[in-house]
């Protein structure tokens, strides 16, 4: 901007005394500004200070608009980028909530967290941040190439032979970036898994002096990740300088080839046109350099996209029916009719026939791996049966809406599952509109009311990560209070007392007995003393019902159940 105006100011060019004709071009704008500067100089009797001030104002106004439009460009691009990332994270979390429980048995929790955090960030910085360059730079290169072809088809033919060769070299450089990036994301997921296991099992690690072993595992993965990322960065950072060198190499080839043609008068343009052609070609180098960097970043981010797509495109095995029926209330029975279940071609349950009448308690007994938890998980449709039918009040549960089905069921697990929130929020997880009085009543039924009152903030006390601020018995009583408040007709109890001390066990067992009154209960039994009064005991062996009956009748048979009782020395 400065050069043409300063030449006019310092007398290197003649003042324009006649207003130039207007055309829609940069040259016309420049000429009009020169005319205005000339009129200022003439008006003030060749006092060029005023003209210098005008030039400064023109520059300031131009730079102001340049930066204004740059800012407005960011104002458009930034919300777009943030919206895409917000939507991506929301879709990913929504899919995690939809996926069946079986999906997560084969996935490391740390790896899923890595995809949600590190991979999403990689997409944001590697793909979304280069989006502008991936749109703008190809357009710039295309416009310049078209201009070059129009200026000299002869030289442009030579150019179009060289450019694909340079593009191939740059492409080869970035080709392995996606594979390396996939390896890096997987290592990061493994790193997060080790961290999660370390935080969860820190007490055991210290007790067994295993800090060195766990540290060695973490440091090995971490060092490998660091080395891999260095290789990726070296390759990515090579793209820009290599593209610039190749661009200048092509420029030199054109300069030699075109210059030879011009000197021998064989070219389709004169010397001035050749110089213009060379100057115009130099406008390709920077966009091509930027495009190479953007392309390499996009390839690197492509691995993160693929890892997130694995989750987004994972099959939903347990699907909501197209025309779901609503289970308003549980009235009669739960019936397993020739039910079999297999996972990854391994048969877990085989030919189960079982009817659980309303108000009855059925206990599931058997050795580890017999299929007790899987059988119980079929009722709330955590898994779908492979063969046969599972009916509630005569209706196949696959025809019921998932929400209405699960509204009729509460689950108390062997390991208490609590969230980093207040006691009240954990209790009312299944009934968000519960009043304070209802929360307190549920706590009383669960024998939790007294210990809650002793807390400094009562029901508003934060219980920490996974309820770490509470004892084992207190955590379990909160999960029972949560189940009581939901007030469902069907209970699934995975022996909630097996890991507690004697006093806590008595309090929790009393709470369970209170909760089971007038409800249909499926009890997964580890301590056989807790199911002596069950209406029916189902003994599972290798996925099949081996024995069934009451406690006394099974003892009389002298089969698997009796041996299990003898092993626990319970009569």
Spell out the SS3 assignment of 320-368: CCCCCECCCCCCCEEEEEEEEEEECCEEEEEEEEEEEECCCEEEEEECC
**pLDDT at 571 exceeding the cut of 50:** no
Supply the pTM of this predicted model.
0.67
Residue 527 contacts residue 551 (beta carbons within 8 Å) = no
Confidence of residue 97 (pLDDT cuts 50, 70, 90): confident
**pLDDT at 373 exceeding the cut of 60:** yes
Q: What angle do CA 526, 528, 531 make, to 5 degrees?
A: 105
**pLDDT at 488 exceeding the cut of 50:** yes
- Cα within 13 Å of Cα(270), Cβ side: 1
pLDDT score, position 64: 92
**Same domain assignment for residues 76 and 59:** yes
**Weakest-pLDDT range from 209-213, 451-455, 536-540:** 209-213
Phi-psi region of 185 (alpha: psi -120 to 50; beta: other; left: phi over 0): alpha
pLDDT score, position 172: 66
Q: How many CB atoms lie within 10 A of CB 501?
A: 11
pLDDT score, position 467: 82
> pLDDT exceeding 70 applies to what percent of the chain?
87
**pLDDT at 292 exceeding the cut of 90:** no
Q: Please give the residue range of the domain that contains residue 49.
A: 1-98
**Same domain assignment for residues 84 and 4:** yes
Long-range contacts for 15-20 (Cβ within 8 Å, ≥24 apart)?
15/41, 15/42, 17/42
Q: Which two tokens stand for residue 134?
A: 């991936």
Task: Kindly give the interhelix angle for 131-151 and 48-98, rounded to the nearest 10 degrees.
Answer: 130
**Same domain assignment for residues 541 and 506:** yes
Q: What is the pLDDT of residues 293-323, one digit of tens each?
A: 677 677 767 778 888 888 888 888 888 888 8
Helix (H) or strand (E) holding 547: strand 544-549
Which range of 74-83, 275-284, 292-301, 512-521 scores highest in mean pLDDT? It is: 74-83
**Same domain assignment for residues 429 and 525:** yes
Q: What is the pLDDT of residues 465-485, one digit of tens each?
A: 778 888 878 888 888 888 888
Residue 137 contacts residue 287 (beta carbons within 8 Å) = yes
Provide the number of structural domains found in the chain.
3
Q: For 424-497, where are the E strands, in sequence order?
A: 490-494
Give a yes or no: residue 297 inside a domain. Answer: yes
The residue that leads in pLDDT, 403 or 151, is 403
Strand partners, 493: 412, 523
Helices (H) and strands (E) in the chain, counts: 21, 10
Q: Which two tokens stand for residue 385?
A: 């049966």
- Cα 442 versus chain centre, distance: 36
Give a yes or no: residue 391 inside a domain. Answer: yes
Residue 238 contacts residue 173 (beta carbons within 8 Å) = yes
**Residue partners of 237: CB distance under 8 A and separation at least 6:** none
Which string of DSSP letters, residue by residue, matches 489-513?
SEEEEE-TTTTS-HHHHHHHHHHHH
Give a yes or no: residue 323 inside a domain. Answer: no
Domain containing residue 248: CATH number: 1.20.1560.10
Average pLDDT over residues 58-87: 85
pLDDT score, position 306: 82
Average pLDDT over residues 413-426: 84
pLDDT score, position 26: 63
pLDDT score, position 170: 64
Q: What is the pLDDT of residues 536-564, one digit of tens each?
A: 888 888 888 888 888 888 888 878 888 88
Domain containing residue 441: CATH number: 3.40.50.300
**Same domain assignment for residues 42 and 107:** no
**pLDDT at 68 exceeding the cut of 90:** yes
Give a yes or no: residue 88 inside a domain. Answer: yes
Distance CA 279, CA 237 (A): 27
**Same domain assignment for residues 355 and 266:** no
Best CA proximity match to 360, nearest among 549, 490, 546, 496: 490
pLDDT score, position 120: 82
Tokens 């060195």 belong to which residue?
212
The residue that leads in pLDDT, 495 or 382, is 382
């Amino acid at each position: 901007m400065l050069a043409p105006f300063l030449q006019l100011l310092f007398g290197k060019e003649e003042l324009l005394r006649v207003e130039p004709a207007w055309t829609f071009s940069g040259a016309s704008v420049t000429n009009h500004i020169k005319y205005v500067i000339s009129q200022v100089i003439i008006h003030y009797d060749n006092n060029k200070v005023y003209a210098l001030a005008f030039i400064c104002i023109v520059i300031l106004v131009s730079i102001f608009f340049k930066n204004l439009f740059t800012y407005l460009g960011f104002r458009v691009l930034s919300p777009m980028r943030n919206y895409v990332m917000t939507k991506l994270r929301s879709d990913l979390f929504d899919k995690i909530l939809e996926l069946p429980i079986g999906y997560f048995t084969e996935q490391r929790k740390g790896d899923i967290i890595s995809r949600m955090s590190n991979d999403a960030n990689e997409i944001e910085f590697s793909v979304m941040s280069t989006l502008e360059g991936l749109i703008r730079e190809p357009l710039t290169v295309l416009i310049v190439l078209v201009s070059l072809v129009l200026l000299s088809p002869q030289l442009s033919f030579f150019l179009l032979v060289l450019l694909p060769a340079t593009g191939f070299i740059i492409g080869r450089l970035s080709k392995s970036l996606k594979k390396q990036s996939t390896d890096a994301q997987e290592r990061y997921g493994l790193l997060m898994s080790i961290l999660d296991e370390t935080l969860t099992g820190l007490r055991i690690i210290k007790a067994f002096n295993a800090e060195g072993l766990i540290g060695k595992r973490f440091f090995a993965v971490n060092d490998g990740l660091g080395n891999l990322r260095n290789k990726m960065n070296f390759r990515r950072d090579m793209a820009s300088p290599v593209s610039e060198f190749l661009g200048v190499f092509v420029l030199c080839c054109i300069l030699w080839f075109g210059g030879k043609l011009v000197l021998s008068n064989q070219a389709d343009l004169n010397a001035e046109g050749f110089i213009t052609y060379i100057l115009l070609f130099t406008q390709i180098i920077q966009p091509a350099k930027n495009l190479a960097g953007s392309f390499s970043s996009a390839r690197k981010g492509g691995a993160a996209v693929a890892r997130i797509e694995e989750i987004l495109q994972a099959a939903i095995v347990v699907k909501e029916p197209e025309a779901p029926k609503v289970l308003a209330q549980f009235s009669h029975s739960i019936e397993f009719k020739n039910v079999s279940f297999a996972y990854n071609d391994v048969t877990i349950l085989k030919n189960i026939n079982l009817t659980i009448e309303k108000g009855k308690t059925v206990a599931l007994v058997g050795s580890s791996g017999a299929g007790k938890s899987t059988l119980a998980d079929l009722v709330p449709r955590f898994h779908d049966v492979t063969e046969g039918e599972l009916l509630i009040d005569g209706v196949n549960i696959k025809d019921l809406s998932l929400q209405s089905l699960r509204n009729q069921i509460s689950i108390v697990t062997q390991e208490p599952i609590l969230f980093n929130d207040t006691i009240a929020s954990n209790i009312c997880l299944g009934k968000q509109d519960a009043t304070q009085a209802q929360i307190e009543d549920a706590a009383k039924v669960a024998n939790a009311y007294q210990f809650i009152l002793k807390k400094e903030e009562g029901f508003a006390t934060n219980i920490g990560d996974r309820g770490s601020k509470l004892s084992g018995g207190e955590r379990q009583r909160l999960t029972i209070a949560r189940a009581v408040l939901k007030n469902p007709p069907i209970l699934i109890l995975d022996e909630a007392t097996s890991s507690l001390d004697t006093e806590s066990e008595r309090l929790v067992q009393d709470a369970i007995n209170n909760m089971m009154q007038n409800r249909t209960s499926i009890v997964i039994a580890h301590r056989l003393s807790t199911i002596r009064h069950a209406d029916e005991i189902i003994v599972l062996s290798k996925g099949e019902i081996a024995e069934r009956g009451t406690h006394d009748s099974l003892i009389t048979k002298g089969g698997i159940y009796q041996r299990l009782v003898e092993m626990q020395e319970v009569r």
